[in-house]
Structure 1
Amino acid sequence: MDAQLMIQPSFFVDAGIQVESVRGSSLFKFSDDLQERLDNLNEKKKKSSLTPDEEAELTGILELDRIFTLLNAKIIAESA
């Protein structure tokens, strides 16, 4: 397994996270700014033009996305 550098997902919590009510459940989602940053980094990755710092940032945001996916799935499953 290769070790990857990443910005800790907790770095994005203060400004990049929102809680949205969906069908009576509160779900986690990215702010518009963080979602736009993720989209921009993904585009740069497709063009193979990410700097090492941007790669670390993208890795951290993607890890946070995985965490939210799991949390939101649990919230939805428990509300059904």
Structure 2
Amino acid sequence: MVTQTMVQPSSWIETGIELHKIRGLKLFKFNHDLQTRLEMLIERQKNYLLTPEETTELAGLTELDRIFTLMNARIIAES
């Protein structure tokens, strides 16, 4: 059995994350490069072309996307 080590979502905090002001609220969002990378990895996954390294990268990005969705929902709900 091969152990899969997920890329830590915090590794993208410095370079891949932006705050966008939407309807007066600052919401978390991937920058253009990171969003493009996520979309490319998803497309490669659909075509069964992911390498093991890309699989772990996709897992990390997916986790970070879930975190942002929850945080943004909370920001919106509390406004």
TM range (shorter): over 0.9
Gaps of 5+ in 1: none
Q: Which amino acid aligns with 2:9?
A: P
What are the superposed Cα offsets for residues 30-63 of structure 1, whole Å, 9 maximum, x if unpaired? 0000000000000110110100000000000000
When the two structures are aligned, how many residues end up with a matched partner?
77
Aligned partner of 2:44 in structure 1 is 44
Query: TM-score scaled to structure 2, two decimals?
Result: 0.93
Aligned to 1:72: 72
The secondary structure found in structure 1 opposite 2:26 is: strand
CA RMSD in angstroms comes to 1.1
Task: Name the residue aligned to 2:22.
Answer: 22
Deviation of 1:5 after TM superposition, in Å, equals 2.7
Counterpart CA distance in 2 for 1:43 and 1:5 is 21
Q: Which residue of 2 aligns with 1:12?
A: 12
Whole-angstrom distance in 2 between the partners of 1:52 and 1:4 = 8
* Alpha-carbon distance, 1:16 to partner: 0.5
TM-score (norm: length of structure 1): 0.92
Please give the secondary structure, in 2, of the residue aligned with 1:27. Answer: strand
Q: Distance in 1 between matches of 2:27 and 2:8?
A: 21
> What's the % identity of the aligned pairs?
56
Q: Which runs of 4+ in 1 moved over 4 A?
A: none
Structure 2 distance, partners of 1:45, 1:12, is: 21
